[in-house]
């Protein structure tokens, strides 16, 4: 590269470590990353910078690691307003006795916008720059995401039965396609179909979604094999596992993003692998609802792309992808009875490039590579709990608190600087959240602790 | 209480929530806690303070929860210097190929003191005011703990074979009894015997420890049934599980603190319950080393007191009891296939009063009650990830980062104020840690990532 010309950049970041995720396993020490407009334009050793990059602004992060912005591959962002309202009960009770009645009473355009605002603030604060979201009024989540300049893939919900958002499958689908049309040229807003689960969506709408997803070139994002009961109920009803049913309907393809997938037979795994489906692992939600254990080690060995998600924070109870990486890496070892299952590097991949692949966005995000969007998080490893640092990837996965995230950029825009939001109106988010807290607490006549 | 006299106090803390842990399940809203010298002297509603308490100093923590200082019931504090040096390998490889060789090369009085200093700083920063510790040169840990004014129970190690610390069981035991004598009147330093494990300590020293522990009135703290292999090897060797062997040796009693205990038959559980033994659950270490799953729900139902520990941070990789509470609460549900197993309140009890019971210190610490030591942590629930707060106990267990700990008192002394250490020399700790990092990294010729 002796003949290279000078690269023009808006911002040059020099960091103690740059962990690009791709190429796999690489850690650059004392390197610089350059951003022009919304993209990464260079990564090079610090000592070569003066001769190769001309930057308008420079930033030195001398105890930090730069990583790709984290990708939360499954959630329900507006449910942040229901954080901690129903703990320590099973999925069916949680849904039927707590969450669905509360949603029926409170969910509105405003609830969704305010809940998404809170969730987005929490995600940016903890290094997430892209999230997959399945909830009612997705156009409100889009509005919040655009205002905050964060990337989202909106999986518009589809159900057989009426909710506040639509009356029947046809209306859900028509709203989903309209949303797609509204944002088809957006840099930050992406769409997917979000059929809720095999037990809430019948064959006809699934067949329609399969065709439309192909035509529109978007993913299908679906809760699938979340619990043993879901699978045994399905087998009892029509002799097939939900995955076998989806296969017969033609839904198994690289477009299908299967969320949870705790209960998979070897046949199920073979079908998913053969079809190139993705799995989103949500370990903390699976544990909290006692849904079961996703065998990540086994899925990875079968060649299935496994991404990572927090799920909604009413079943987690936060949107912290550092905690989720750690839980995933720890849990997979005990589940596989193999301490080498899911090493730190793989956990980081699940939270970045694997998420990008699941969402169909890996050409644009998921790693720190030239030409990709400048979606970046900086983590300060100067904390006591990060010392000594023998291996920064180990620290990020096994010993980092999300509060150590110091800077976040999405599409080149600085959203968080030294732990402070550059533009989000946090005061308004607090006020709106307190408003909903008071309303919900009064209505749900909490028998738990005083709020 | 109409005739009560005015209580004199050094400090009055008014907090949004006070969670005393005892009485069980109580949350006081907008109450005050008064400290005189090293003890708690009053807890009362904020509106009664002016007529009942005369305090030299007042502090308002208006978005905070006060809880008992957390009790980390099992660890090896100096191993903080080995954080992240050997990840993603099994317990036997981890010990035999990495940890033991590194310890043989590096462990010294200075290593222990510097490691303990780092660990103590991390623990105070994350709300821990008392820890049980098993490591060589425990007198150095005592020195660090006294300098930092944190409470510790030192389980002096006992092994059959020579290490840097002693040559044979007799020398280990004599050093342990001397340590006990040196600190028998200390307010902060407590001792216990720490026979490493059934497979590293033979019958004769165990019998001696049993007698001495009774005479000296101190606990026996031991790794026990950590893995399935430990148990099956023991059964193959002499036909008994380690617990059955300890029973025959007369070691099962309320003095015995069993650490890990992932692999317990119903008979083992019955023996522990009948004898009043305690179990220290270390979920993150058990997961990381793929040691197995401790069935906390089952143990609690059998009436066994279960405390919580991080283990050394070389197998965790931090000393964060908030993360540990959360992992314990989440994991127990999936292990029991019951989402109501180990509710948030119980996780908080494991990290406080249950730890105090295991250490034999529950008359002095473990809850916020009048007459107990003022060992207290304040957690600021004003963070985005703590909003909305319907139930502060849920937030503490399921959605709190240790960085939200704002204030810590141990025996009435303020150690952390608004997240800053009041007296610890953090600069020196950083310098010492970096010194060890460089030495260890050079010697161990890391094949992992650049440091």
Supply the mean pLDDT for chain B. Answer: 95
Residue predicted with more confidence, A4 or A43: A43
In sequence order, what are the residues at sequence separation of 6 or more whose Cβ sits closer than 8 angstroms to the Cβ of residue B417?
Answer: B406, B407
Yes or no, beta carbons of B390 and A121 under 8 Å apart = no
- How far is Cα B403 from Cα B270, in angstroms, rounded to an integer? 40
Say if domain B7-68+368-418 classifies as CATH 2.30.40.10.
yes
Q: Do A85 and B390 touch (CB under 8 A)?
A: yes
Residues of A in contact with B126 (CB under 8 A): 385
Residue A17 near chain B (CB below 8 Å): yes
DSSP letter string, B313-371: GGGTS---HHHHHHHHHHHHHHHHT-TTSS-HHHHHHHTTHHHHHHTT-TTTSSS--TT
Residue closest to A320 by CA, chosen among B429, B12, B385, B433: B385
- A340 CB near a chain B CB, below 8 Å? yes
Tell me which chain B residues have a C-beta less than 8 angstroms from the C-beta of A319.
385
Distance, in angstroms, between A335 CA and closest chain B CA?
8
Residue indicated by tokens 């036997």: B92
B238-292 pLDDT, tens per residue?
Answer: 999 999 999 999 999 999 999 999 999 999 999 999 999 999 999 999 999 999 9
Flag if A437 and B389 touch (Cβ within 8 Å). yes
pLDDT mean over A111-128: 98
A335 phi-psi bin (left φ>0, alpha ψ -120 to 50, beta other): alpha
Distance spanning both ends of chain B, measured CA to CA: 62
**Using the beta-carbon criterion (under 8 Å), do A84 and B389 form an inter-chain contact?**
yes
Determine contact: B95 vs chain A, CB below 8 A: no
Option in B29, B118, B288 nearest A330 (CB): B288
Name the band, by pLDDT with cuts 50, 70 and 90, for residue B450.
very low
A294 in contact with chain B, both atoms CB, cutoff 8 A = no
Interval B68-105: pLDDT, tens: 999 999 999 999 999 999 999 887 888 888 898 999 99
Which residues 6+ apart lie within 8 Å of A247 measured at CB?
Answer: A271, A275
What does the pLDDT look like over A186-197, one tens digit per residue? 999 999 999 999
What pLDDT score does B451 carry?
39
Please give the pLDDT value at position A3. 54
How sure is the predictor about A4, in pLDDT bands with cuts at 50, 70 and 90? low
Interface with chain A: mutation pick from B300, B334, B437, highest number of A CBs within 10 Å: B334
ipTM: 0.96
Q: Is B126 on the interface with A (CB under 8 A)?
A: yes
> Does A123 touch chain B if contact means CB atoms closer than 8 Å?
no
pLDDT > 80? residue A312:
yes
Nearest chain A residue to B332, by CA: A287
Q: What confidence category does residue A89 fall into, taking pLDDT thresholds of 50, 70 and 90?
A: confident
d(CA B313, nearest CA chain A) in Å: 9
- Give the pLDDT score at A212: 98
- Give B-chain residues touching A421 at CB under 8 angstroms: none
**Any chain B CB within 8 A of the CB of A1?**
no
Query: Which residues of chain B lie closer than 8 angstroms to A318, CB-CB?
Result: 385, 398-399
Q: What are phi and psi of A418, to 5 degrees?
A: 50, 40
Q: Chain B, 148-167: which have a CB under 8 Å from a chain A CB?
A: none
Strand-pair partners of B278 = B257, B305
pLDDT at position A441 is: 93
B48-77 in b/e form (b: 16+ CB < 10 A) is ebeebbebeeebebeebbbbbbbbbbbbbb
Of the candidates A139, A135, A136, the one whose C-alpha atom is nearest the C-alpha of residue A178 is: A139
CA end-to-end distance (rounded Å), chain A: 62
Would an 8 Å CB–CB cutoff place A327 in contact with chain B?
yes
Closest residue of chain A to B426, computed from CA coordinates: A384
Nearest to A152 by CA among A142, A164, A165: A142
pLDDT at B446 over 70: no
CA dihedral B102, B104, B106, B108 (to 10 degrees): 150
Of B287, B334, B398, which has the smallest distance from its Cβ to A84's Cβ? B398
CA A305 to CA A315: how far, in whole Å? 24
Reduced to 3 states (helix: H, G, I; strand: E, B; else coil), residue B31 is strand
User: What pLDDT shows up at residue B45?
Assistant: 97
Measured between CA atoms, the residue of chain B closest to residue A395 is B84
Given this model, what pLDDT does residue B4 score?
65
CB contact under 8 A, B390 and A433: no
Domain boundaries, chain A: 7-68+368-418, 72-359
Question: Do the beta carbons of residue A333 and residue B327 sit within 8 Å?
Answer: no
- pLDDT at residue number B445: 62
pLDDT score, position B202: 97
Pairing between β-strand B376-380 and β-strand B405-410 as defined by DSSP bridges: antiparallel
Determine, for residues A340 and B403 on separate chains, whether the beta-carbon distance falls below 8 Å.
no
pLDDT tens digit sequence for B155-182: 999 999 999 999 999 999 999 999 999 9
* Distance (Å) from the alpha carbon of A162 to chain B's nearest alpha carbon: 28
Is B384–A293 a contact, with Cβ atoms under 8 angstroms apart?
A: no
- Interval B258-271: pLDDT, tens: 999 999 999 999 99
Task: Select from A292, A398, A432 the residue whose CB has the most chain B CBs within 10 Å, as the one to mutate to test that interface.
Answer: A398
What's the sign of the alpha-carbon dihedral B22, B26, B27, B30?
A: negative
Give chain B positions within 8 Å (CB) of A67: none
Query: B 391-430 residues with CB below 8 A of A?
Result: 391-395, 398-399, 401-404, 426, 429-430
B133 close contact with A: CB closer than 8 A: no
pLDDT at B2 over 80: no
Distance from CA of B205 to the nearest CA of A (A): 32
Do A403 and B398 count as a contact with CB atoms less than 8 A apart? no
pLDDT over threshold 60, residue B1: no
**List of chain A residues whose C-beta atoms are within 8 Å of the C-beta of residue B341:** 290
Nearest chain B Cα distance for residue A356, angstroms: 24
Query: Which residues in chain A have their CB less than 8 angstroms from residue B318's CB?
Result: 385, 398-399
Average the pLDDT over each of A403-407, A445-449, B19-23, B102-106 and give the range with the smallest value: A445-449
Which residue blocks in B184-313 are alpha helix, DSSP H?
203-216, 228-238, 242-248, 266-275, 283-288, 296-301
The structure tokens listed for A358 are 């699941």
Q: Predicted confidence band at A94 (pLDDT cuts at 50, 70, 90)?
A: confident
CATH code, residues B72-359 = 3.20.20.140
pTM over 0.90: yes
Q: Could you say which of B81, B284, B339 has the minimum Cβ distance to residue A90?
A: B339
Put simply, the answer to whether B330 touches A287 (Cβ < 8 Å) is: yes
Confidence of residue A92 (pLDDT cuts 50, 70, 90): confident
Rounded to a whole number, what is the distance in Å from the CA of A385 to chain B's nearest CA? 6
Share of chain B above pLDDT 90, in %: 94
Pairwise CB contact (< 8 Å): B448 & A390: yes
């Amino acid at each position: 590269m002796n003949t290279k010309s000078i690269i023009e950049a808006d911002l040059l970041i020099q960091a103690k470590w740059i962990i690009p995720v791709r190429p796999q396993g690489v850690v650059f020490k004392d390197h610089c990353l350059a951003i022009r407009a919304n993209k990464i334009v260079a990564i090079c050793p610090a000592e070569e910078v003066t001769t190769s990059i001309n930057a308008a602004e420079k930033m030195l992060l001398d105890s930090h690691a730069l990583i790709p912005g984290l990708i939360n591959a499954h959630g329900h962002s507006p449910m942040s307003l229901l954080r901690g309202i129903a703990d320590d009960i099973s999925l069916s009770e949680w849904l039927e006795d707590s969450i669905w009645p509360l949603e029926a009473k409170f969910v509105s355009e405003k609830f969704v916008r305010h809940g998404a605002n809170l969730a987005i603030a929490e995600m940016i604060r903890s290094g997430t720059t892209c999230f997959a979201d399945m909830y009612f009024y997705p156009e409100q989540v889009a509005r919040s995401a655009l205002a905050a300049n964060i990337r989202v893939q909106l999986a518009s919900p589809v159900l057989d039965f009426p909710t506040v958002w639509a009356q029947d499958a046809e209306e859900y689908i028509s709203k989903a396609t309209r949303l797609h049309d509204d944002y088809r040229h957006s840099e930050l807003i992406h769409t997917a179909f979000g059929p809720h689960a095999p037990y809430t969506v019948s064959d006809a709408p699934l067949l329609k979604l399969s065709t439309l997803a192909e035509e529109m070139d978007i993913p299908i994002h679906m809760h699938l094999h979340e619990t043993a009961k879901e699978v045994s109920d399905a087998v009892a009803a029509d002799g097939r596992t939900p995955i076998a049913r989806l296969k017969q309907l033609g839904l198994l393809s690289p477009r299908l993003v299967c969320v949870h997938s705790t209960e998979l037979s070897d046949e199920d795994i073979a079908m998913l692998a053969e079809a190139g489906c993705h799995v989103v692992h949500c370990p903390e939600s699976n544990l909290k609802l006692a849904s079961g254990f996703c065998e990540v080690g086994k899925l990875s060995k079968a060649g299935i792309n496994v991404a990572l998600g927090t799920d909604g924070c009413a079943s987690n109870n936060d949107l912290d992808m550092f905690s989720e990486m750690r839980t995933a890496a720890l849990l997979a070892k005990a589940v596989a009875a193999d301490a080498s299952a899911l090493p730190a590097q793989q956990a980081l991949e699940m939270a970045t490039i694997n998420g990008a692949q699941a969402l169909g966005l890996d050409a644009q995000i998921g790693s720190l590579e030239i030409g990709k969007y400048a979606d970046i998080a900086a983590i300060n490893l100067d904390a006591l709990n990060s010392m000594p640092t023998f291996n920064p990837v180990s620290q990020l996965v096994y010993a980092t608190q999300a509060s150590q995230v110091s800077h976040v950029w999405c599409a080149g825009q600085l959203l968080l600087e030294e732990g402070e939001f550059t533009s989000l109106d946090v005061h308004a988010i607090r006020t709106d959240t307190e408003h909903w807290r008071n309303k919900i607490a009064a209505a749900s006549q909490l028998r738990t602790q005083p709020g």
